Amino acid sequence: MNELFNVKGKVVVITGGAGILGKGIAAYLAKEGAKVVILDRSEEAGKALVESIKAEGNEAMFLYTDVMDKEILQGNKAEIMKAYGRIDVLLNAAGGNMAGATIAPDKTFFDLQVDAFKKVVDLNLFGTVLPTMVFAEVMVEQKKGSIVNFCSESALRPLTRVVGYGAAKAAIANFTKYMAGELALKFGNGLRVNAIAPGFFLTDQNRALLTNPDGSLTDRSRTILAHTPFNRFGEPEDLYGTIHYLISDASNFVTGTVAVIDGGFDAFSI
């Protein structure tokens, strides 16, 4: 049974690997024996993360990237292949939101900043499509590999205010299912594509939406928790087990699924 979940020696590429969720996942998988490759725009954060992972006796490397630049991604792939000779896992964790693509409580859809909306869609959607296009080529040659995309609760149901982010994440959910069929049908069933859909996690990315300046919960937060059976926000650690499962041989017959990690929010109705 333990061998089913063994990720020791797997080369795991994580876009946005130095980000709020990515860095915790990277450290966890490195402790489990994976060879973690952290791709991020922040060299300072990425290198610091690698140092902390290595300080614990685990393996990691950092490469600067831009998930919307295919040429840079191709260069990343070449460096990874030179170092390890294979790529077993791709975690598409890069993404984010911005104020102009979010509708404030005192605004309407007609106040939406179109340029900001486009940037959010580009970062989240094309920031998933392009790394998949680049790194899945290696998996096709190997005839084996696992890709895990990062969706969101907002991919499953339209949440107020985050219209640009939600649209992009819904597109990623669709892309995940499409690519699951595309890779398996054309290149064999050793290739799997799944996604996770985190619910509400209190991170720096959404802290302004969920807490007041004094740290107390906003009305939005109280509404969210009232509709969450677990009655709490998620922690980065809540993602580790599902990701571990999806990249391990324990999930060899699982592809095209979007695993919801939300404390029951999506399942609950009054």
The rounded distance, in Å, linking the Cα atoms of 158 and 73 is 32
On whether the CB atoms of residues 249 and 6 are closer than 8 A, the answer is yes
Domains in the chain, ordered, with CATH? 2-199+240-259 (3.40.50.720), 205-233 (no CATH)
- What type of residue is 174? N
10-residue stretch averages of pLDDT, the chain, 270 residues long: 90 97 97 99 98 98 98 99 98 92 89 94 98 99 98 89 92 98 98 97 78 88 93 95 98 98 89
* pLDDT at res. 204: 74
Please state the φ and ψ torsions of residue 50, each to the nearest 5 degrees: -60, -45
Containing 84, the helix (H) or strand (E) segment is helix 70-84
On whether the CB atoms of residues 159 and 166 are closer than 8 A, the answer is yes
49: tokens are: 């993360």
Residue 165 a catalytic site member? yes
The rounded distance, in Å, linking the Cα atoms of 86 and 120 is 31
Q: Out of 64, 84, 165, 240, pick the active-site residue.
A: 165
* pLDDT at res. 206: 72
- What type of residue is 178? Y
* pLDDT at res. 270: 66
* pLDDT at res. 54: 98
Please state the φ and ψ torsions of residue 162, each to the nearest 5 degrees: -95, 55
Q: Is the pTM of this model over 0.75?
A: yes
* pLDDT at res. 1: 59
On whether the CB atoms of residues 150 and 198 are closer than 8 A, the answer is yes
* pLDDT at res. 240: 98
